[in-house]
Amino acid sequence: AAHAGEVHCLLGDNGAGKSTLIKTLSGVHTPSEGQMYVDGKPVTFTSPRQALDAGIATVFQDLSMIPLMSITRNFFLGREPVKGWGPARRIDMKTADAIVYDQLGKIGINVRDPQQAVGTLSGGERQCVAIARAVYHGARVLILDEPTSALGVHQASIVLRYVAQARQRGLAVIFITHNIHHAYPIGDVFTMLNRGR
Chain mean pLDDT for the chain: 89
pLDDT of residue 135: 87
Share of the chain above pLDDT 70, in %: 99
Cβ–Cβ under 8 Å, residues 135 and 169: yes
Question: Is 26 inside a domain boundary?
Answer: yes
* Domain tally, the chain: 1
Residue 68 clears pLDDT 90, i.e. is over it: yes
196 pLDDT band (50/70/90 cuts)?
low
Q: What is the pLDDT of residue 61?
A: 76
Q: Does residue 88 lie within any of the structural domains? A: no
Mean pLDDT of 24-44: 89
The H-or-E segment that residue 59 falls in is strand 56-59
Q: The dihedral of CA 185, 196, 54, 39: what is its sign?
A: negative
50 located within any domain = yes
The alpha carbons of the chain give a radius of gyration, in whole angstroms, of 17
Tens-digit pLDDT profile for residues 74-88:
999 888 899 988 888
Stronger pLDDT, 93 or 122, i.e. the higher one:
93
Share of the chain above pLDDT 90, in %: 48
Predicted confidence (pLDDT) at residue 57 exceeds the cutoff of 80: yes
Assign residue 21 the CATH number of its domain: 3.40.50.300
Q: What domain range is 41 assigned to? A: 6-67+121-192
Q: What is the pLDDT of residues 103-159, one digit of tens each?
A: 998 877 888 899 999 999 988 888 889 989 988 988 999 999 988 887 888 888 888
What is the pLDDT, as a whole number, of residue 191?
A: 93
Residue 150 is assigned to a structural domain of this protein: yes
36 CB-contact burial (10 Å; exposed 0-12 / middle 13-18 / buried 19+): middle
- What pLDDT was estimated at residue 94? 95
pLDDT of 156:
87
Is residue 113, in this structure, part of any structural domain at all?
no
Which pLDDT does position 143 carry in this prediction?
Answer: 94
DSSP 46: S
